[in-house]
Structure 1
Amino acid sequence: MAVLSRLASGLALCLGLVSAQSTDCTGINAVSPKCASSETTFQRDVFYVGGRWIDNDYTSGNVTADQLYVEKLTPAGGVTQDKPLVFFHGGAVSGVQWLNTPDGRKGFASYFLDQGYIVYLLDHTGAGRSSQEDTTDYTLWNSTTVEGLVSGFTAPELNPTYPQAVLHTQWPGTGQKGDPYFTAFSKWVIPFTENWAYGETSMRASGCALLELLGPSYLISHSSGAQYPIVISNDCPQYVAGNINLEHSTQPFWNYGTTLNSGSDFRLWGLANTYLSYDPPVSNYTELNKTWVGNDTLASRRCYLQAEPARQLPNITSVPYLCLTGEASVHATYDHCVIEFLEQAGGSPTWIKMADRNIHGNGHFSMLELNNLEIAAVVHEWIQEQEGNSDSSSSGSSSGSPSSWPWAVICFFDPTLPECS
């Protein structure tokens, strides 16, 4: 009877696998126990790094503040890379953005686990599983609307506010309300702290505390998450093997509006909202002299840079720096400003425009788009070059204005550009 029972169990398992193969396992349907995971097998450990006890106004004791959630993923197939990767998510989301995509495909974390890296996923202080009881300092901001997700990230081509938006093709599904993949993505959005200076202060302390435990690591960030590797590179550059940015939201001194000559002062220390170690040193950001450079067009925004002679940022520029920009993202219009600022400050950053690698159609959340693993491969290649494991060289431009987009399309929207004459 025991043998028959085992045979019956095996038959049931086989039938279950057949059923799983015929089940729709895309998007939210993949939650079914009949669906196999698209993610790489790993071992997981969870930690909280940094933090301190503070008095609480509403109780008679202390509460913990500034703690940083850290999720360690170790590839089940074994570690083959010398240095780990630490991932910093963008604003309004959490570390989940590095896992499987909204339509259920393999994400960045799994790709790099497949390459033999240990992967660390963070939830920034004040976000996700690093939410704070210190609600006085970590005031929350409802960061974006569903409509804002559509116009800014998932379907900017429908109502383009910049010329390159019409080139967007890589978001899975329609990118609009009613599409199941868009619905899944919209549920990732969470509030985060609007106290940018306080968030940076806690992340630079907890971030360096983490890297002191890990040793030299590659930091990979997206969007506003890029401000944290900047301040960490400023404070403990000896632990940063490389600063890798998927569309850095560290535009110097300024947040751009959607119309010409619009925006607001931000990141008053240049690339950050808090102190940076300039040479010659400054005690206050008001000592920094800045000036507008270039003409403001919707295809290529003018830059707020230091007035010459520019102060240097020796700690930050000692760290190898990479930025990757999608062909159809709004960042195609102003990522060059960060590159130019870093060059002014003594750095030699690398800027790879994905179209130069024949990777086309990407918006701002490229790690979730249909060709996400192609982009991950570019990051892996760059890391291997830094480690001396590859003879290939980057074909991306190191600086300058956008060069690889179809100018026939761009000139239709902005015929005043020099390239359109």
Structure 2
Amino acid sequence: MRWLTTISLGFGALARLAHATSCTGVSAVSPNCTSKEVAYKRDYFYIGGEYVYSESLSGSIFSDQLYVEKLTPQTGVNQTNPIVFISAGVPSGAVWLNTLDNRRGWASYFLDHGYQVYILDITSVGRSSQPQFSIYPLKIGSTDNITRNCYTSPETIMPYPQAINHTQWPGTGIRGDAIFDSFMASMIPLTSNATSLELSMRKAGCQLLEMIGSSFLISHSAGSTYATLLSDQCPNLIKANVNIEPGNTPFQSLVGNSTVPAVGRTSARPYGLTTTEIGYVPALNSSADLETVWVGDDLAGNRSCVMQTEPARQLPNIAKVPYVAITGAASPHITYDHCIINYLKQVGVDPEWIKLEDRGILGNGHFMYLEKNSDEIAAVVLEWMQSR
């Protein structure tokens, strides 16, 4: 009996040890796993927002504030302009820290190169406020099917031709894999009110930039919408905009989830790049003043675009900010990022477009900064920023 107890305890200890030392996905929370992050000092702040009276609470709450983490490299700052990281909101700003397979994230990469780094949780998401929650409910971040088919393993169903080349996601990219499950756990909800979100991000974001000075904005997917708003509102406070597969395709949202081009397309962003009004010249009375036309054949591997009819209204403030978009070779965005590049040119911006395939960097999907070659892509971003 004593021998059986010893064996039982031994198996339990071995199981705990095996779980603790796997360091895959969430298992890396174990104290036995070593962090790959660089050493930095961390502070947090809430920027912007305002008091809003609540009748049901018979008092005021503080709403629309922006959660900001300030990371300072332990070795000191040696770059003039800070970096502000803006995620799509699903996941939160934490996505810029260590990767899902526990390599160093982009925050550490740029800290290691001497940058002051600021990470945001966009308003309504994560540690930022949820504006008017009782009126505008949360919407889901992403389902397991969308995540798998569009982000982590599109090569398994081939929703667009370029998906066959997707090789850089760590793990299987399918439910049940530790890395995939960790990724899904990070997909938190956000507000269903895009107007409220954009207005609060514009106000709080410019307030942050006024406080920290001219900065590089690195945004991903829908996060590029907020970088666009800040470029319109306070362009002189932005050194340059780096857009990782920008998610504000003009006038439409496209999801690469079907080889049938008409599937996965919805109308969006009535002001072209945004839901709320931006500074077109000549000025608009409403978004209805933007007359549009479809351009190009709609193919699974090369989607059609919505453009303004000529002569096109211009966006002079946004044109003041240097702009680059970076697109992966195996991402659904390779089928439609040309739409935003061509639209920006039409409204007077001089955008650059870096297709990673042209740099010999292959196999990347939409969340490239979490994929196996993330440092290689960060180096492309660093080179572009330093050329500014």
Moved over 6 A (4+): none
1:353 aligned partner, one-letter code: K
How many Å apart are 1:162 and its aligned residue? 0.7
Q: CA deviation at 1:133?
A: 5.9
Pair 225,114 (structure 1): closer, same or farther in 2 beyond 3 Å:
same
Letter in 1 for 2:188: I
After TM superposition, list the pairs within 5 Å mapping 1:248-259 onto structure 2: 248-256=246-254, 258=258, 259=260
Shift of 1:91: 3.7
Check if 1:328 corresponds to 2:330. Answer: yes
Matched, 1:158 2:156: yes
Question: How far apart, in 1, do the equivalents of 2:192 and 2:354 lie?
Answer: 30
Give me the whole-angstrom Cα distance separating, in 2, the residues matched to 1:107 and 1:172: 14
Does residue 379 (structure 1) correspond to residue 377 (structure 2)? The answer is no
Hey, what does 2:59 align to over in structure 1?
A: 61
Q: 1:380, 1:138 → 2: CA distance? A: 39
Secondary structure in 2 matching 1:250: coil
Q: CA RMSD in A?
A: 1.5
The match for 1:226 is 224
| 1:16-415 alignment runs, 5 A limit | 23-132=21-130, 134-136=132-134, 138-256=136-254, 258=258, 259-262=260-263, 263-386=265-388
Q: Which amino acid aligns with 2:166?
A: H
Could you tell me whether the CA contact under 8 Å between 1:64 and 1:133 is conserved in 2?
A: no
Alpha-carbon displacement from aligned partner over 1:94-113 (angstroms, at most 9, x marks no partner): 00110111111111000000
Displacement after TM superposition at 1:137 (Å): 5.0
Instruction: Report the secondary structure of 2:27's partner residue.
Output: helix
* Cα offset, 1:90, TM superposition: 1.6
**Using the alignment, how far apart are the partners of 2:296 and 2:361 within structure 1?**
28
Q: Deviations over 1:139-181 (max 9, x none)?
A: 2101321122111111011001111111100000101112111
Could you tell me which runs of 5 or more consecutive residues in structure 2 were left unpaired when the two chains were aligned: 1-16
- Residue type of the partner of 2:227? P
Q: Which amino acid aligns with 1:261?
A: A
Maintained 8 Å contact 2:131/2:196: no
- 1:187: how far off? 0.7
CA distance in 2, matches of 1:351, 1:101: 25
Percent identical: 49
CA shift for structure 1 position 30: 2.1
For 1:361, the aligned partner's letter is G
Partner of 1:410: none
| 1:63 and 1:133 in contact (8 A); partners too | no
In the TM superposition, residue 136 of structure 1 has moved relative to its aligned partner by: 3.6
Residue type of the alignment partner of 2:92: S
Number of residue-to-residue matches in the alignment: 367
Where 2:120 maps in the other structure, the secondary structure is strand
1:166 aligns to what SS in structure 2? helix
**1:308, distance to aligned residue in structure 2 (A):** 0.6
- Calculate the TM-score normalised by the size of structure 2: 0.92
Q: CA deviation at 1:93?
A: 1.0
The answer to whether the 8 A contact 2:47-2:66 is kept is yes
Residues 1:226 and 1:133: Cα distance change in structure 2 (over 3 Å)? closer
| 1:6-38 alpha-carbon deviations (Å, 9 max, x no partner) | xxxxxxxxxxxxx99x94433323222122210
- Partners of 1:96 and 1:248 lie apart in 2 by 19
Per-residue deviation, 1:138: 4.3
